[in-house]
Amino acid sequence: MLDYHYWIALRAVEGIGPVLFRRLLERFEKPEQVFTADVSELQSVRGMTPQIVSSVKNPSYQRFAEEECRRIETSGVRLLTFLSADYPRRLFEIGDPPPVLYLKGEIPPWDPAVAIVGSRRATREGLKAAERLALELSALGVLVVSGLARGIDTAAHRGALKGGGQTAAVLGCGIDINYPPENYDISIQIADSGCILSEFPMGTQPLSEHFPRRNRIISGLSRGVLVVEAVEKSGSLITARYALEQGREVMAVPGSIYSPAHRGTNRLIKEGAQLVDCLNDILDATRIALQNPGMPLLNQSSGAPRTDLTPREASVYELVAQGARHIDEITQALELTPADVSAMVLSLELKGVLVQLPGSYYSIP
């Protein structure tokens, strides 16, 4: 756990979010080097204000990291950094991947994955639809991702468990916080056969501002987000918006035009979301292929490249994941030398993370 001490300390510094954290790693390679850097070096990183530089030099974050490491060691929680081989590679494709993920349970195959979200105050029909679709996806080997909230989220996790597959719950609080309290039993089941994730430190309470941040991870992990019941201003629509920004498929289950519970989902469909009334609609939208009709899907994650990337390699991957890039574009965007970029793209090719296209363009497989 000592290896994670500086990751935890740097993430805890006020003002250092996921984007600035990544910039610091691009400059210094390792979190511990940030704390030993001099003031002028720190100020050379875009976004490092004098206040943040002063905070980095404050030893209180080191004490917090020591205490957090002890809490992790005694709780059976794993820590994934975005340099860990088991870190979900799809999160590199979003603009602000969490530098650190707390994980309880087993590392699942991260792909293919589909998120199912919706209203906390769901109707009986909505709960039935979420549970049934999650069960069918799970039975095919698809990882079902949701947020362990009341209502649709809980039904999705329950259906995935019944389908015999794996499900991942992403929390808007510390991984050691039992929220909502009535989901304690199902959270144990999820950790036994899948995993629970959080980017928040241990003990973090479920504050309202945490859930939009949680939602970007739910959509980021997935090929697509299915919204099952959402009122006009539902938090589930935030997840759908993140999905659009991240290039994920947005899907919705239609409902009565007279029901307030379906106004959000019906509007999504009106705006172009894929209408879903059966499992095949999800598989088609997310391009999940079956080996044969009626048979489990081809395990598309077996043999997938491991994500043991350096900070700079991760930055190259994130850039190329947004669309094919010429090597000159990569060099200019990352402000590195052509030799450095050539070495990195070669390394990423050998790891199976990038493929070279004609004309010195690069893309993800």
Q: Which among 177, 173, 137 is positioned nearest to 157, based on CA atoms?
A: 137
The whole-number pLDDT of residue 80 equals 94
Give yes or no for a cis peptide into 254 (omega within 30° of 0).
no
Span(s) in the chain for CATH 1.10.10.10: 311-363
Closest to 69 measured CA to CA, from 123, 161, 1 = 1
Residues 6+ apart with CB under 8 A from 258: none
Q: What is the pLDDT of residue 29?
A: 80
Query: Lowest-confidence range among 19-23, 97-101, 102-106?
Result: 19-23
Average pLDDT over residues 279-299: 71
- pLDDT at residue 350 is higher than 90: no
Query: Do 127 and 161 meet the contact criterion of CB atoms below 8 Å apart?
Result: no
Average pLDDT in the 182-192 region? Answer: 96
Q: Within its chain, how far is the Cα of 86 from the centroid?
A: 13
* Overall average pLDDT of the 347-352 stretch: 82
Among the listed ranges 168-182, 215-229, 256-270, which one has the minimum average pLDDT value? 256-270
Q: What is the longest distance spanned by two Cα atoms in the chain?
A: 63
101 vs 338, more confident: 101
Question: What is the mean pLDDT of the segment spanning 66-88?
Answer: 90
- Burial classification of residue 338, based on how many CB atoms lie within 10 Å of its CB (0-12 exposed, 13-18 middle, 19 or more buried): exposed
B/e letters for 13-34, b = 16+ CB within 10 Å, e = fewer, are: beebebebbbbbbbbbebbeeb
Please tell me the predicted confidence (pLDDT) of residue 299.
42
Confidence at 335, pLDDT banded by 50, 70, 90: confident
The segment(s) of the chain belonging to CATH 1.10.150 are 2-74
To the question of pTM greater than 0.85 for the whole model, the response is no
The average pLDDT across 321-329 equals 81
112 beta partners: none
Instruction: Tell me what pLDDT residue 297 has.
Output: 52
Looking at the chain, which residues constitute the CATH 3.40.50.450 domain(s)?
105-286
Closest listed residue to residue 264, CA positions, set 246, 241, 286: 241
Instruction: Evaluate if residue 295 carries a pLDDT over 80.
Output: no
C-alpha pair distances (Å), 240 with each of 116, 143, 268? 10, 18, 9
The helix, strand and coil proportions of the chain, stated in percent and rounded to the nearest 5, come to 45, 15, 40
Q: What is the mean pLDDT of residues 183-209?
A: 95
Residue 44 CA to residue 32 CA, distance in Å, equals: 17
CATH class of 311-363: mainly alpha
pLDDT at 294: 45
Q: Cα(97)–Cα(153) distance, rounded to whole angstroms? A: 22
**Mean local confidence (pLDDT), 15-36:** 90
| Pairing outcome for strands 325-326 and 195-198 | unpaired
Q: Say how many CA atoms lie within 13 Å of 50 toward its Cβ.
A: 0
CA–CA dist 199, 99 (Å, integer): 8
pLDDT of amino acid 1: 46
The identity of residue 136, as a single letter, is E
Distance of CA 281 to the CA centre of its chain: 23
For 102-158, the pLDDT digits (tens) are 999 999 999 999 999 999 999 999 999 999 999 999 999 999 999 999 999 999 999
Which spans in the chain are helix H? 5-12, 18-28, 31-36, 39-43, 50-56, 60-75, 124-139, 152-162, 184-193, 210-220, 236-245, 263-270, 279-286, 311-321, 327-334, 338-350
- How many CB atoms lie under 10 A from the CB of residue 332? 12
Query: Taking 90 as the threshold, does the pLDDT of residue 71 lie above it?
Result: yes
Structure token digits, residue 176: 């050691």
18 pLDDT more than 80? yes
How many residues appear in the chain? 365
Rounded to whole angstroms, how far apart are CA atoms 134 and 164?
Answer: 10
Give residue 301's pLDDT.
39
Q: How would CATH label the architecture of 2-74?
A: Orthogonal Bundle (1.10)
Is CATH 1.50.10.10 correct for 105-286?
A: no
CA angle 359–364–365, rounded 5-degree value? 100
Peptide bond between residue 18 and the one before it cis (omega within 30 degrees of 0): no
